[in-house]
Structure 1
Amino acid sequence: MADFSGPLPGAEPDAAALIAARPHLTMNADHGLMLEGVPLAVIAAELGSPCWVYGAETIRTRLAALRAALAKAGLGATDFHYAVKANDHLAILAIMAAAGAGADVVSGGELARARHAGIPASHIVYSGVGKSFRDLQLAVGEGIGQVNVESREELAMLSAVAEAAGRRVDLVLRVNPDVDAKTHAKITTGLAENKFGIAWAEVESVYAYAGSLPGLNPVGLAMHIGSQIVSVEPFDTAFARMAEMIGRLRAAGHTVTRLDCGGGIGISYEDGSGIALDDYAGVMAKHLGSLGLKLMMEPGRWLVGPAGLLLSSVIIAKKTGNRAFLVLDAAMNDLVRPAMYDAWHGIVPVAAADFGTPDMPVDVVGPVCETGDTFAKDRLLPALGPDALVAILDAGAYGAVMSSTYNARPLAAAALVDGDRWTTVTPRQQVTELWSRETVPAWLTETAGETG
Structure 2
Amino acid sequence: MTNAFFTYRDDVLHAEAFSLSELAERFGTPLYIYSKAALTQAYDAYSNACKGKNATIHYAVKANSNLAVLSLFAELGAGFDIVSAGELSRVIAAGGNPNRVVFSGVGKHDDEMRYALEKDVFCFNVESRSELTRLNAVAREVGKRARLSIRVNPNVDAKTHPYISTGLRGNKFGVAYEEALSTYREALQLSHLQIVGIDCHIGSQITEVSPYLNAIDKVMDLVHQLEAENISLHHIDVGGGLGITYSDDETPPDGSTFASQLLSHLAERGLGHRQVLFEPGRSLVGNAGILLTKVSFLKPTETKNFAIVDAAMNDLTRPAMYGAYHNIVPVIRRENDNETLYDVVGPVCESGDWLGRDRLLNIETNDLLAIHSVGAYGFSMSSNYNTRPRAAEIIVDGSEAHLVRERETIESLFANEHLLPK
> 2:242 & 2:316 partners in 1: Cα distance?
21
What is residue 168 of structure 1 aligned with on the other side?
A: 145
Match of 1:422 among 378, 383, 401: 401
What is residue 238 of structure 2 aligned with on the other side?
A: 261
TM-score by length of 1: 0.89
- Per-residue Cα deviation, 1:67-115 (whole angstroms, up to 9, x for no partner): 22344xxx73311110000011101101111101011000010011111
TM-score by length of 2: 0.96
The 4+ residue runs of structure 1 with deviation greater than 6 A are none
Residue 262 of structure 1 aligns to a residue whose secondary structure is: coil
What is residue 368 of structure 2 aligned with on the other side?
A: 389
Deviation at 1:278, TM superposition (A): 5.4
Q: How does 1:312-351 map to 2 (within 5 A)?
A: 312-351=293-332
Residue 213 of structure 2 aligns to a residue whose secondary structure is: helix
> 2:15 & 2:225 partners in 1: Cα distance?
50
Q: How does 1:147-158 map to 2 (within 5 A)?
A: 147-158=124-135
Q: How does 1:367-382 map to 2 (within 5 A)?
A: 367-382=347-362
What is residue 245 of structure 1 aligned with on the other side?
A: 222
Deviation at 1:123, TM superposition (A): 0.8
Conserved? CA contact 2:310–2:347, under 8 Å: yes
Deviation at 1:354, TM superposition (A): 2.6
- Per-residue Cα deviation, 1:237-292 (whole angstroms, up to 9, x for no partner): 10111111101111122112211111100011014842344553354134312412
What is residue 34 of structure 1 aligned with on the other side?
A: 14
What is residue 39 of structure 2 aligned with on the other side?
A: 59
Residue 118 of structure 1 aligns to a residue whose secondary structure is: coil
Which one-letter code corresponds to 2:44 in the other structure? A
What is residue 123 of structure 2 aligned with on the other side?
A: 146
What is residue 187 of structure 1 aligned with on the other side?
A: 164
Do residues 403 (structure 1) and 360 (structure 2) align? no
- Of 306-315 and 427-436, deviating more is 427-436
Quickly say closer, same or farther: Cα 1:411–1:204, change in 2 above 3 A. same
Please give the root-mean-square deviation of Cα atoms over the aligned residues, in Å.
1.6
- Of 267-276 and 238-247, deviating more is 267-276
> 1:53 & 1:401 partners in 2: Cα distance?
13
Which one-letter code corresponds to 1:187 in the other structure? I
- Of 248-257 and 78-87, deviating more is 248-257
Residue 386 of structure 2 aligns to a residue whose secondary structure is: helix
What is residue 307 of structure 1 aligned with on the other side?
A: 288
Q: How does 1:117-136 map to 2 (within 5 A)?
A: 117-136=94-113
Quickly say closer, same or farther: Cα 1:267–1:355, change in 2 above 3 A. farther
- Per-residue Cα deviation, 1:344-372 (whole angstroms, up to 9, x for no partner): 00001112x43664422111111111111
- Of 353-362 and 98-107, deviating more is 353-362
> 2:261 & 2:334 partners in 1: Cα distance?
44
Instruction: Identify unmatched segments of 5+ residues in structure 1.
Output: 1-17, 444-452
Conserved? CA contact 1:235–1:283, under 8 Å: no
Do residues 44 (structure 1) and 24 (structure 2) align? yes
> 1:282 & 1:121 partners in 2: Cα distance?
27
- Per-residue Cα deviation, 1:220-249 (whole angstroms, up to 9, x for no partner): 200100011111111111011111110111
Which one-letter code corresponds to 2:292 in the other structure? L
What is residue 84 of structure 1 aligned with on the other side?
A: 61
Q: How many residue pairs are counted as aligned between the two chains?
A: 418
Which one-letter code corresponds to 2:45 in the other structure? A
Match of 2:253 among 272, 275, 283: 275
What is residue 11 of structure 1 aligned with on the other side?
A: none
- Of 358-367 and 50-59, deviating more is 358-367
